[in-house]
Structures are given as structure tokens and as C-alpha cells.
Amino acid sequence: MSSVPTGLQAFSVEQQQPEIEDSGRTQRAEWVLNSPDPPGLCHELIGSIKETVFPHGNKHSSSSKKRTPRKCVVSFLQALFPILSWGKNYKVSNFKNDLMAGLTLASLSIPQSIGYASLAKLDPQYGLYTSIVPPLIYALMGSSKELAIGPVAVVSMLLSSLVQKIEDPVADPIAYRKLVFTATFFAGTFQALFGMFRLGFLVDFFSHAAIVGFMAGAAIIIGLQQLKGLLGFSHFTAKTDLVSVLESVFRSLHSEWYPLNFLLGCSFLIFLLFARFIGRRNKKLFWLPAIAPLLSVILSTLIVFLTKADKHGVKIIKHIKRGINPSSVHQLQLNGPNVGQAAKIGLISAIIALTASIAVGRSFATIRGYHLDGNKEMVAMGFMNIAGSLSSCYVATGSFSRTAVNFSAGCQTVVSNIVMAITVLVSMELLTRLLYFTPIAILASIILSALPGLIDINEAYYIWKVDKLDFLACLGAFLGVLFASVEIGLLAAVTISFAKLLLRSIRPGIEELGRLSGTDIFCDISQYPMAIKIPAIVIIRVNSALCFANANFIRERIVRWVAEEQNKMKENGKGSLEAVILDMSNMMNIDTSGICALEELHRKLVSDGIQLAMANPRLQVIHKLKLGKFVDKIGRGWVFLTIGEAVDACLGSKFDSLSSC
């Protein structure tokens, strides 16, 4: 056998190596170009609904193909009613904890519900009704173990401020109540639709910063409105802005107010705040702030009854209708003249209720170490509010103060909500007559004692320190609610949040990349100054979708960078720019305006003798670029899987052109 000379063998290996690398690079580029088509819009929509209804189904598993109709029904029911899943393993020891937590929760819910009903401009029994049906429905459909359901101060105030602009609760209480139930029905419908179609991102437009500002502004307005009950005013403004409320307070102080109301209310307010302080200092005494409102109601009712204080100007609740929730189906005004207004109020209430409730539920779920599905929560809250609107309830949601009490009392599951609802129901049957002499000033003091938890100064300072634009949304919501109205506050917060989002969409992050020495890692040269630029090549990463809002900005920015780089190279005598590589790994999508911008960029670069290459385009992006024929325009050989391969190809092309010269 004749042997091949060593020199020729080495030359052959060196010659074959680039060919092997080129072959591998070409194959990987074909992976990018021949990637499967993304799912269509209808397919994604149907898939999202299936994922909500059948969360445990895995379309990729072989077992999913063998699913029988019975298993599908069971999976559907378990997804819709989580209690069917964990209820099989429910233990007596869990019930003992849930029983104590539920009873503790009821002791707080009864007085708070009566107070929040007055805040919503409804009779006291409607607050109690809202603590019966919605918690029972949520117990069947909800997935949070700790969330306590019922009326809350902010939503109560929101409803009353919006509905009373259409129907006067004093002049026509029946029409006002019908509109509240109709708005509640729409709120539940919107919430359920948000969850079913996975539209939870709509709620996220009302940002955390906006919620902090809105809650603080609402707390101050609610507190000022409680001066009516605390001072015993008979006439008070229906407006919610700070100036109108203060004017009404000073006007009433000169004409009518009863010192006994103020004395009684302030005495128990001090007691409630002291109980709250003790409960925070000593976690073992968590039950003290929980039962303090009920103790206040009992003691104040006894004081008024024994001293006949109602004969001396102390205003009392008087009659509370007893019995279970009556049907309110016939009171819904789905064909009335105000149905559009009711839908708008329902949408606003739905968003505020969902935002606050999901935030509370997730915070406690994190403590317990489990995940809370926001879309499932929306569906559960939607159905509970729809059921509530049919049974004389207004919008219910998760309460932070009651959830904290429920958690501290040792609840294990949502059975504590069932115990609480049954306790309130029994109280409605047996104890409503005993509340006849309960002073209204006590309800005001109970609401006032719950308001400090809504004003989070430390969080507002944290927002200011971290993100000034976020703080602007927080401040806009706060000042809007405080000095204008609830709607203006919400509008200001959402407008600022949208402006912030639009600003970041129009001016997205665009980075020039360099290679870290000794690696194949490419990163932003402004963040990592040690990264080295590739000679005669500009590598650019776009950190957003390329769409109509930012396409021209991105194109102009790239053209300007290229021009600056060319000028630098000419000044330094380093030749000319050979290629521009677009890293598309962070470009999630592209539209027709984006494709047009790329075409203009490509024509500009070609006219200057510069090659355009693309690295790692996402599935949606490469699919649309192929449909738009842009891949054919730049050449299929200039689409790569990684930046490193794109750089090697550009350098190889440059070497070949120099060799041919």
C-alpha cells in the first residue's frame, strides 16, 4: 500500500475542515428556515380555552390520545370545581382548623359587611347577603386556600360613586338597587370572560403602582365620608372629591351634629386601633383585632339600648331584614335604558376587584408555597358575582384584612369560607333583631379602623426610588381620586400606564453587541465594556417586537449607527464596513410595517455595499419574513441560527472577496 505524505495529509485535513463547518452551518440555517408554521389565531384561542378547562391534559402525551369521554368530563369538572380534587383527601384535623378560622372570620365579616353596605348606599342586609352566596360559590370554584370573600371598602365606594350619578339612592332606592345588581352581573360576566379567554393581561394595564395610589386616595375619601356617621350628620354630599367632602363637613358642623355620636364612635375607634396594634405586636393575639369589631357592635348596641341614647341624637341602624338571600333575577335591567352605563360600571368594578383580589391571593399562596392560577381565579370570581347578582348581592372580592385574619387563624382550605357563610346565614335568621339599636357611628369607626391598611407609604416610597414613571402613575391615581373622582383617578392611572408602555414600545432597547474574549458569547458593549467589536461588522440586537409603532425609529437608529461606524473606520484607515448582523432572538413578533422597514434598511445597506444578515429569528418572525418574501430578498444563505455562525460567515465572505481580488 502506498502511503500519503504527511504534509499532503495535513493540507487535506485543513482544506476539509472549513467545508465541514460550512456544511454544518448551512444545515443549522436550514433548521431555522424550515421551522414549522406557528399556530393560527383561532387555534391559539381554542387552545387557551382548553388549557383553562382541561389544565391537566397534555396534548403531547400518548395517554392523552386514549382519554375516554368519562375522563374528559371528570377532568373538566375537576378544573371547574377544584374542591372535587382536594376534597377526596380532606381530613377531620383540617376541618377543626377551618372551623375555628371560619368562626373568627365571621366575627369580623358581620360588622364589616354591614358597614360596607352603608358605604355602597345599600341597606345593611345586602352587605350580609354578599358574605353568604359569593363565598359559597368561591369555595366550590376557587383555588386559593386563604382568600376570604365578601364586600370590601374600595369596591363599595366605587359602586356607590358611579351608580349614584345615574340613580339617586335617596330619591329612588329601588332603581338604585336594581342598577347595582345589574352592574354586579356585568362585573361577573367580564371577570368570567377574562378568565376563559385568558385575557388577564387586560387587568395588568392597571399597574401595581396605580393600585397603590388608587387605594391610598380611595382610603382618604372613604375616611372623610365616614365623618357623616361619626358626627351624626343627616345631610351630606354625594360627591367623592376632597374639596366637596370637606365643604360638606364644615357646612354640617355649623348646622347639625351630635356630640354623643362622635364620643361613642371615637371611643370604639380607639379600642379598634388599639386591638389592631396589639394583634400586630403579638401574633398569638391575632384573634383580638378579628373579634374587636363584633365586640364593639355588641357593647355599643347594649350601651344605646340601656341608656336610650337613640332618644338623644345617637343615630341607629334600626330594622335589618332577616332571612336568606331573596332572588334578584327580576331586578336585573338587561334591556333598560341604563344597560350601557351598568356595563361600564361593571367593567371598572371587575378590573378593580380582580386586581386587588388576585394580588392578595398570590401573596398568601407564595407564603404557603403553591401557585395560584390567575385565569382560574377570574373564572371563579366571575361565576360567584353572577350568582351573587341573582341573589341580592353586590360585587364581592377578596379582602386583604379578612384574608390575613383567615390565614392567622390557621385556615387550611376554603372550607373556612363555607363556615363563615353559614355563620352569617344563621346570624341573618336569628340575630338581626338584636342589631336594631346598633349605632351608625360604630359602623363608621369599624370602616375607619380598616383604612390604614390601604395606605402604604413605604410602598409608594419604594416605587419612587425604583421607577419614577411608575411613581407618576401612582401619583396620578392618588390625586385623581382625591381631587376629582374615582373615574378620573382610574383614567389618569391607566393613561399614564399606557403612555409609559407606548413610550417603551416606540423607543425600544437597541443594543450594539461585541464578543467576550475567549468565548462565543455576544453581549451589549455598553453594559460590558470589555466586549470586543468584530472588525468591519456591526452586530445589533432589538429588544422588542418590530411593529408600526417603532419600525421607523429602529430603522433610522440602525442607519445612523452604520453611518457612524463607517465614518470611524474611514478616519482610522481601517477599510470599510462589510456587514450588519441583526440578532432577532429578542424580537418576539413583526408586522407588515416592520417588514417594510427591514426592506428599506436592506436597500440602503446594499446601496452602500454592506451585507445584511439575520441571526436566530423567532418562529413568528421567520414565518412572516418568509411569507413577505424578505428571506428571498436578502438570500437564504444569510439567515443563521446563532450570532457566532453569522459572524463566521461574514468573515469568510470577506476573506473570499479579498482572495478573489
Q: Can you give the pLDDT at residue 295? A: 95
Predicted confidence (pLDDT) at residue 12 exceeds the cutoff of 60:
no
Q: Are 385 and 130 in contact (CB under 8 A)?
A: no
CA distance 263 to 271: 12
Assign 49 a pLDDT band (cuts: 50, 70, 90). low
Assign 5 a pLDDT band (cuts: 50, 70, 90). very low
What average pLDDT does range 72-78 have in this prediction?
83
Predicted confidence (pLDDT) at residue 23 exceeds the cutoff of 70:
no
| Cell 345615574, located at residue | 166
Instruction: Report the chain's mean pLDDT, rounded to a whole number.
Output: 87
Q: Can you give the pLDDT at residue 28? A: 81
The pLDDT tens digits of the residues spanning 88-144 come to 889 888 999 999 999 999 999 999 999 999 999 999 999 999 999 999 999 999 999
What average pLDDT does range 13-41 have in this prediction?
69
User: Concatenated DSSP letters for 17-83?
Assistant: HHHHHHHHHHHHHHHHHTPPPPPPHHHHHHHHHHHHH-TT--TTSSGGGG--HHHHHHHHHHHH-TH
DSSP conformation class of 534? P
Predicted confidence (pLDDT) at residue 31 exceeds the cutoff of 90:
no
The pLDDT tens digits of the residues spanning 622-651 come to 999 999 999 999 999 999 999 999 999 988
Is residue 245 classed exposed, middle or buried when 0-12, 13-18 and 19+ CB atoms within 10 A define those classes?
Answer: buried
What average pLDDT does range 217-242 have in this prediction?
87
- % of the chain with per-residue pLDDT over 70: 91
Query: For the range 37-46, what are the long-range contacts, defined as Cβ-Cβ under 8 Å and sequence gap of 24 or more?
Result: 37/623, 38/619, 38/620, 38/623, 45/197
The pLDDT tens digits of the residues spanning 290-324 come to 999 999 999 999 999 999 999 988 999 988 998 88
Q: Are 313 and 260 in contact (CB under 8 A)?
A: yes
Assign 20 a pLDDT band (cuts: 50, 70, 90). low
What is the enclosing helix (H) or strand (E) of 640? strand 639-640
Q: Can you give the pLDDT at residue 545? A: 92
Q: Are 125 and 428 in contact (CB under 8 A)?
A: yes
Q: Which amino acid is at 556?
A: E
Predicted confidence (pLDDT) at residue 52 exceeds the cutoff of 60:
no
Q: Can you give the pLDDT at residue 659? A: 45
For 305, other C-beta atoms within 10 Å of its C-beta total: 15
Ranges of beta strands (E only) in 410-474 are none
User: Concatenated DSSP letters for 180-213?
Assistant: HHHHHHHHHHHHHHHHHTT-THHHHTS-HHHHHH
Q: Can you give the pLDDT at residue 492? A: 87
Q: Can you give the pLDDT at residue 78? A: 85
Q: Can you give the pLDDT at residue 443? A: 93
Q: Can you give the pLDDT at residue 54? A: 57
CA distance 461 to 467: 10
Does the pTM of the predicted model rise above 0.85?
Answer: no
Predicted confidence (pLDDT) at residue 63 exceeds the cutoff of 90:
no
End-to-end CA distance of the chain: 42
Phi, psi of 658 (to 5 degrees): -65, -40
Q: Can you give the pLDDT at residue 48? A: 63
The pLDDT tens digits of the residues spanning 542-578 come to 999 999 999 999 999 999 999 999 998 888 887 889 9
3 state DSSP class of 109: helix
Q: Which residues contact 97 (CB under 8 A, 6 or more apart)?
A: 409, 410, 411, 412
Q: Can you give the pLDDT at residue 41? A: 67
3 state DSSP class of 291: helix
The pLDDT tens digits of the residues spanning 348-395 come to 999 999 988 988 888 898 888 888 888 889 999 999 999 999 999 999
What average pLDDT does range 400-419 have in this prediction?
92
What average pLDDT does range 8-15 have in this prediction?
40
What is the enclosing helix (H) or strand (E) of 538? strand 537-542
Q: Can you give the pLDDT at residue 571? A: 86
Predicted confidence (pLDDT) at residue 55 exceeds the cutoff of 60:
no
Across 382-393, b (16+ Cβ under 10 Å) vs e yields: bbbbbbbbbbbb
The pLDDT tens digits of the residues spanning 476-523 come to 999 999 998 888 888 888 888 888 888 888 889 899 999 999 898 999
